[in-house]
């Protein structure tokens, strides 16, 4: 029998390590894993480095030598956590396999104890886990375990997975890991490292990407690699094989690779469409489609929906570049960069007051007055969340002498929070929540404002429209975050097993 748990309350992350200009939207995390490679730790380092855009708060690598798992985690960027010496020591452990993680918190605070992979010991030995996504029933699970006397080391939603795995109830199941995964609700692309294997898992809805690749080594046993994005495969010389399927567990060990399902794929998948709009690296293939190509199509569609006479199409760096190039191509208006990012405004440039934060926004992006003065400009960006950064930029453009500003956004208005692995502002802080496009246009002080329609957005992706999550735009959540569903949970005997 499956158990229904009481109503979860999503943890609100504390921000103990926040940058001066906090990003308006935070990705949750990258995962990586490789088995059999003699330099598994170094390969993981490369895989994490290539996926740094998915999380910059902490990084970690866990390595198994076939008997013992060791882990190194820390706050900061991959290159900050792993100095040459640390990486050398980790690699010298003689790793058989390794997993890694870049983190940006959406549940649990940005503190060192929450850095992943989480490494724990239980009745069957050691296990390390790295998680991309967000569980909507983790608070209820955690409360259940705490009432039973369990001690937690972190405030992360991921730790409940290990507690679940260790319970006698799951351990008595024919497949303890599958039984554990069937108790989880929400978004989870997970990579587990056991002493003798990696298990890569994707939730039945396929919210977050997870791909499989292989590094050829001249034998009939290639090194298998798993990663959030295909850019991580590229950087370590692996070729893309396929996505891990929704509801699938892929096992990688000395024997090679095998697959089984812990749940049937959801009838209606929920691939996060925002991965294409903003998160993923343009070079990646996400949900079977190249991200740069999708973003250019979004810009082209935007130009068709809301063309306007102008002198230049100008991207908001760096997020608007791909869509702006598509807009320029479709409209025939010259593409020109007039807003320049200052790459040396650091992530730790902490400023406590609003005035100082506004100054930091100005420092981060400079407007080139010689280019914008007296011109009609179409500015293209990927999204507006709170609107404060966008407002500062529009003011700067106006002060620099722009004659007309036509703002084009390559996705619909974000009106609702995300419970599945993206840290937008709370509903009350979203500029589009409860406000019309005209209200927002006036606030931003632009001549015209157009958001890409939801139909336009979905016309640019190659799977059926119903296969994507669009809840932050539409408010239609595939899973009710306040009432975890049990409908996709299936019993052990129904589990499809694959050799």
Choice among 29, 411, 460, 469 that is catalytic: 29
Q: Looking at beta carbons only, is 32 or 207 nearer to ligand SF4?
A: 207
What token pair was written down for 448?
A: 């015209």
Q: Which of 82, 224, 420, 451 binds ligand SF4 (CB under 6 A)?
A: 420
**Of 471, 479, 489, 490, the one binding ligand SF4 by CB under 6 A:** 471
Minimum separation from the CB atom of position 482 to ligand SF4 (A): 15
The CA-atom distances, in angstroms, between 229 and each of 33, 73, 135, 303, 424 are 12, 21, 20, 29, 21
Give least dist CB 33 to ligand SF4, A.
23
Residue with smallest beta-carbon separation from ligand SF4:
418
- The footprint of ligand SF4 on residues 250-269 (CB under 6 A) is none
For the bound state, the minimum distance from the C-beta of residue 274 to ligand SF4, rounded and expressed in Å, comes to 4
| Residue whose tokens read 């950087």 | 235
Tokens of 236: 């370590």
> Which of 371, 418, 449, 489 touches ligand SF4 (CB under 6 A)?
418
Report the site for ligand SF4 in 349-378 (rule: CB under 6 A).
none
What tokens does 27 get? 């990705």
CB of 284 to ligand SF4, least distance (A): 16
**Looking at 472, 479, 489, 495, which residue binds ligand SF4 (CB under 6 A)?**
472
Q: Which is nearer to ligand SF4, 292 or 470 (CB)?
A: 470
- Distance between CA atoms of residues 185 and 7, nearest Å: 12
Query: How many residues of this chain interact with ligand SF4, rule: CB under 6 A?
Result: 11
**Shortest gap between Cβ of 17 and ligand SF4 (angstroms)?**
23
Considering only 69, 314, 469, 490, the residue that binds ligand SF4 (CB under 6 A) is: 469
Q: Examine residue 410 and tell whether it contacts ligand SF4 (CB under 6 A).
A: no
Question: CA torsion 75→76→78→79, rounded to 10°?
Answer: -120
Query: Of 339 and 422, which has the nearer Cβ to ligand SF4?
Result: 422
Q: ∠ at Cα 284 (282, 287), nearest 5°?
A: 115
Q: Which two tokens stand for residue 461?
A: 């992706």
Does 238 engage in binding with ligand SF4 (CB under 6 A)?
no
SS3 98: strand
Least distance from ligand SF4 to the Cβ atom of residue 187, Å: 7
Per-residue tokens: 464: 């059926």
Closer by beta carbon to ligand SF4, 62 or else 384: 384
* Interface pattern 183-212 for ligand SF4 (x via CB under 6 A): ------------------------x-----
Q: How does DSSP classify residue 311?
A: S
| Residue 432: Cβ within 10 Å count | 23
For residue 29, indicate whether it is catalytic. yes
DSSP assigned state of 224: E
Does 273 interact with ligand SF4 (rule: CB under 6 A)? yes
For 326, the 3-state DSSP assignment is helix
Among 21, 129, 226, 272, binds ligand SF4 (CB under 6 A): 272
Site string for ligand SF4, 421-460 (x = CB under 6 A): -x--------------------------------------
Cis peptide before 34 (omega within 30 of 0): no
Using CA atoms, how far apart are residues 250 and 270, in angstroms rounded to an integer? Answer: 20
Q: Shortest distance, CB of residue 471 to ligand SF4, whole angstroms? A: 4
In order of 162, 215, 396, 397, 419, the CA distances from 11 in angstroms are 19, 39, 37, 38, 10
Contact call for residue 224 and ligand SF4 (CB under 6 A)? no
Binding status of residue 274 toward ligand SF4 by CB under 6 A = yes
For residues 451, 452, 454 and 456, what is the CA-based torsion angle, rounded to 10 degrees? 160
Q: What angle do CA 366, 368, 372 make, to 5 degrees?
A: 125
| Residue closer to ligand SF4 (CB basis): 24 or 234 | 24
Contact range with ligand SF4 by CB under 6 A, out of 88-96, 107-115, 196-204, 469-477 = 469-477
Shortest reach from residue 417's CB to ligand SF4, in Å: 8
> 55, 84, 86: which is closest to 71 by C-alpha?
86
Single out the segment in contact with ligand SF4 by CB under 6 A; choices: 83-91, 255-263, 309-317, 417-425. 417-425
Comparison of 28 and 357: residue with beta carbon closer to ligand SF4: 28
Q: Which of 142, 470, 481, 484 binds ligand SF4 (CB under 6 A)?
A: 470
Q: What whole-number distance in Å separates Cα of residue 1 and Cα of residue 363?
A: 57
- Nearer to ligand SF4 (CB atom), residue 98 or residue 469: 469
Residues 15-40, buried b or exposed e (16+ Cβ, 10 A)? eebebbbeebbbbbbbbbbbbbbebb
Question: What ranges make up the beta strands (E) of 394-437?
Answer: 404-409
* CA pair distance 47, 102, nearest whole angstrom: 10
Of the pair 244, 361, the CB lying nearest ligand SF4 is at: 244
In this structure, the chain runs to a length of: 499
Tokens of 229: 């994005």
Which H helix or E strand runs over 397? Answer: helix 388-399
Q: Catalytic residue positions? A: 29
Q: Which residues bind ligand SF4 (CB under 6 A)?
A: 207, 272-274, 418, 420, 422, 469-472
């Amino acid at each position: 029998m499956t158990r229904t748990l009481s109503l979860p309350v999503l943890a609100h992350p504390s921000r103990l390590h926040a940058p001066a200009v906090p990003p308006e939207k935070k990705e949750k995390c990258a995962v990586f894993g490789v088995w059999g490679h003699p330099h598994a730790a170094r390969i993981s380092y490369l895989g994490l480095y290539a996926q740094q855009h998915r999380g910059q708060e902490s990084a970690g690598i866990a390595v198994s030598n076939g008997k013992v798992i060791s882990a190194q985690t820390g706050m900061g960027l991959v290159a900050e956590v792993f100095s040459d010496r640390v990486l050398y020591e980790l690699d010298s452990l003689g790793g058989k396999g390794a997993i890694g993680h870049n983190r940006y918190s959406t549940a649990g605070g940005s503190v060192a104890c929450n850095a992943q992979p989480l490494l724990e010991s239980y009745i069957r030995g050691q296990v390390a886990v790295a998680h991309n996504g967000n569980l909507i029933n983790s608070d209820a699970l955690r409360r259940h375990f705490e009432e039973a006397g369990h001690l937690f080391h972190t405030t992360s939603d991921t730790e409940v997975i290990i507690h679940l795995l260790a319970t006698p109830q799951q351990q008595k199941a024919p497949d303890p890991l599958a039984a554990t995964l069937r108790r989880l609700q929400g978004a989870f692309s997970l990579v587990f490292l056991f002493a003798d294997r990696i298990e890569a898992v994707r939730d039945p809805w396929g919210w977050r990407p997870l791909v499989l690749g292989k590094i050829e080594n001249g034998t009939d046993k290639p090194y298998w690699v798993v990663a959030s994005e295909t850019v991580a495969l590229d950087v370590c010389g692996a070729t893309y094989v396929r996505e891990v399927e929704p509801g699938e567990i892929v096992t990688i060990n000395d024997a090679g690779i095998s697959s089984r399902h812990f749940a049937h794929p959801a009838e209606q998948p929920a691939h996060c469409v925002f991965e294409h709009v903003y998160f993923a690296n343009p070079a990646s293939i996400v949900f079977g489609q190249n991200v740069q190509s999708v973003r250019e199509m979004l810009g082209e569609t935007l130009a068709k929906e809301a063309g306007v006479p102008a002198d230049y199409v100008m991207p908001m760096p760096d997020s608007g570049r791909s869509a702006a190039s598509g807009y320029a191509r479709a409209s025939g208006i010259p593409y020109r960069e007039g807003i320049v990012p200052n790459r040396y405004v650091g992530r730790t440039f902490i400023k406590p007051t609003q005035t100082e934060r506004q100054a930091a926004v100005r420092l981060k992006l400079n407007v080139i007055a010689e280019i914008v003065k007296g011109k009609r400009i179409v500015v293209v960006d990927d999204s507006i969340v709170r609107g404060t950064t966008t407002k500062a930029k529009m003011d700067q453009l106006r002060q620099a002498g722009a004659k007309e500003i036509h703002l084009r956004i390559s996705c619909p208005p974000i009106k609702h929070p995300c419970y599945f692995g993206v840290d937008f502002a709370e509903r009350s802080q979203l500029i589009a929540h409860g406000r019309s496009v005209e209200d927002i246009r006036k606030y931003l002080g632009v001549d015209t404002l157009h958001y890409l329609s939801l139909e336009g957005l979905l016309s640019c992706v190659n799977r059926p429209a119903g296969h994507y999550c669009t809840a932050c735009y539409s408010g239609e959540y595939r899973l009710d975050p306040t009432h975890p569903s049990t409908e996709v949970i299936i019993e052990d005997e129904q589990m499809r097993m694959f050799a």
